[in-house]
Structure 1
Amino acid sequence: MQAIRNFYKSVIGMSVYLKLPIFFSVLICCMNAKEVRIAVSDLLADTVVDTLMLHAQEKDLQFKIDSIGSLPALDKLNAGELDMALIAIPRRSTQPSSNYQLYPFAYSTSIIAVNVNNPLDEISINRLSGTFGSHEELSLSKWSEIGLSGWGNRSIKPIVGQLEGSISLELFKHVALEDGKIRSTVSLLKNNAALSIISNDVAAIAILPTNPQDRYIKVLSVAKEQDSPAFEPSDDNIHYGDYPFRLSFYIALLKSEVPNLAHVVEALLSDSVANVLSDSHFVPIPYNVRQQLQMDLTLRSKRVVK
């Protein structure tokens, strides 16, 4: 539990890195409209606040939108101080009370990549720990130690590509290193610099915030255990939890308010928001899942008596 809270703290602390205030409030008003209290994770604020503001104006609604960390938002949600929240919920963490309905919204992830000419196609979390971690029982520094025959003593060159606002490194450390430290020999670079190295150096391996669109870079499948199946970071594999590096973001709202606020959730699950998420180093939930949720929400919203 302490490791989860530490990870939460590192995620919340990213608000400074995002150049966002730790707390801000947007009030969108219409006279005599019922106020809807919404909290948005500061990691998501740039991608969804504009959509919420536009939707409030179109529907003549009054939204009070607070951009805060997921942990305080979860506390406010459970205390009944919010009607809706967009929050990150790591696995094994505290869940909202049973009074709330959760809808999957998006994911942050960590991508593992090598040069296209590297024969490696998959890797286990254990070997990633040995490659990037500083205090691992299994310390790997040569490609031959990962099983690449004919590579002799060629050294592994571990690097990390970083984008402003991304938590891919923190997520990697949480999952693979159990919140441990990255070893000092790992190069921390801007994402474009990391992509340039990977596309030109067959000995490099990188942690990246997004799926690279470069024919000289190969994305590795990752296995949770050494002898378990490895999964590529496709939208489906991330959504269903087969790919191990993911932080889930949910739309949470009072179950009693689902019929009244279903249209807000539908707007957040639109194709336009999914495109914004994809352009902002997030992975939206798969298209077919969004379509099914939207159909269900439409049916529930029609039950509201006008």
Structure 2
Amino acid sequence: MGAAEIVGTDLLQGDIAQGINHAAGKTAADFGGTLPGRQAFVDGRASAAVLMMREREVAPVPTGKIGVAEFRLASSVVVVATHGSNRAEQITLENLANVFARDPRSPARNWNDLDPAARSELITPAVCSPAGSMVLEIFQGIVLEGQPFRPDVRLRIEPDLAADLLASRAGTVTLIPRRPSGRGKVLPVADGRPGKSSTAYGPDDNNVHNGDYPLQVPLILYVRQDRLAELTPTLRWLFSDEAADLLEKQGLFPAPKAARTRFVQRLDTR
């Protein structure tokens, strides 16, 4: 592996990798996964790495304690959606665990189990985690803390079925990678865990990028300071509208345009 390569999460295989190679004028991307990418970056076998950074994970430090520039490139997100007629205004991580977990603290089968003022309506939980997204894995890690889903949760449903449930099933709560394009109501999510905010945030671009929306894992781009100059043309493309569109098509939330503009300014003023 050459020292000018970008490595990391396999979510960026395909169009993003091809765009990087085109911008670099050579094969520069090797997205074989976060763990091997992190190791290659630390060992000095890669100049940059895009890593999925879960809570409490520390940034990689290259051998020799080389300085590192950090850019929050995108996030893999879990959006919680329900039928448009549902009167729920928000939901907490604990409520979601009570709905989806096999052995929750306080099982919720009906919407009025979550809110006594809600109408009596059976909850029908479903997960839409298409290829290239991490909906199931992120939700299971953050909300279920690794425990299994309850047996009647519909796992890995197709996007068309998710859209149909949101349009036609009053009691549905469906986990999807992006905001619904058709009918359906997005529920803001409150973290509420000890030491965490109890404010509910919706999955808009700024709440995701700022880290306020709790159901996400960010994709952080780490670049060795001593390689920034040679990687600048490639990084300019990675921060472009074209790359952001490709990240969005992949089911990810790219950094908002204002943030990407700041990234480019950092390249120009180093």
Is the TM-score greater than 0.5?
yes
State which of 144, 167, 185 in structure 2 corresponds to 1:199: 167
Give the conservation status (yes or no) of the 8 Å contact 1:39–1:65: yes
Distance 1:205 1:217, change over 3 A: same
| Post-superposition offset of 1:81 | 1.4
| Post-superposition offset of 1:94 | 3.6
Give the conservation status (yes or no) of the 8 Å contact 1:38–1:63: no
Name the SS for the 1:187 alignment partner: coil
Give the conservation status (yes or no) of the 8 Å contact 1:40–1:66: yes
Match of 2:97 in 1: 129
Which of 226-235 and 244-253 deviates more?
A: 226-235
Name the SS for the 2:269 alignment partner: helix
Match of 2:111 in 1: 143
The answer to whether the aligner puts 1:180 opposite 2:147 as a matched pair is yes
**How many corresponding residue pairs?**
262
Which of 87-96 and 177-186 deviates more?
A: 87-96
The answer to whether the aligner puts 1:219 opposite 2:172 as a matched pair is no
User: RCO higher in 1 or 2 (8 Å CA, sep ≥ 6)?
Assistant: 2
Q: Which amino acid aligns with 1:174?
A: G
The answer to whether the aligner puts 1:37 opposite 2:1 as a matched pair is no
Runs of 4+ that moved beyond 4 A:
none
Give the conservation status (yes or no) of the 8 Å contact 2:83–2:184: yes
- Unpaired runs of 5+ in structure 2? none
Separation of aligned partners in 1, 2:166 and 2:116: 18
Match of 1:158 in 2: 125
Provide TM-score, normalisation by structure 1.
Answer: 0.81
Q: Which amino acid aligns with 1:44?
A: L
Separation of aligned partners in 2, 1:225 and 1:91: 15
Match of 1:241 in 2: 211
**What are the equivalent positions in structure 2 for 1:1-306 lying under 5 Å apart?**
36-57=4-25, 62-97=26-61, 99=66, 100-149=68-117, 151-152=119-120, 154-188=121-155, 189-214=157-182, 216-225=183-192, 228-300=198-270
Query: Based on CA coordinates, which of the two structures has the bigger radius of gyration?
Result: 1
Separation of aligned partners in 2, 1:192 and 1:161: 9
Separation of aligned partners in 1, 2:43 and 2:118: 60
| Post-superposition offset of 1:149 | 2.5
Give the conservation status (yes or no) of the 8 Å contact 2:101–2:150: yes
Which of 194-203 and 93-102 deviates more?
A: 93-102
Separation of aligned partners in 2, 1:150 and 1:248: 34
Give the conservation status (yes or no) of the 8 Å contact 2:74–2:219: yes
| Post-superposition offset of 1:138 | 1.7
Q: Which amino acid aligns with 1:51?
A: G
> What percent identity do the matched residue pairs reach?
24
Name the SS for the 1:129 alignment partner: helix
Q: Which amino acid aligns with 2:129?
A: Q
Q: Which has the higher strand share?
A: 1
Give the conservation status (yes or no) of the 8 Å contact 2:47–2:223: yes
Provide TM-score, normalisation by structure 2.
Answer: 0.91
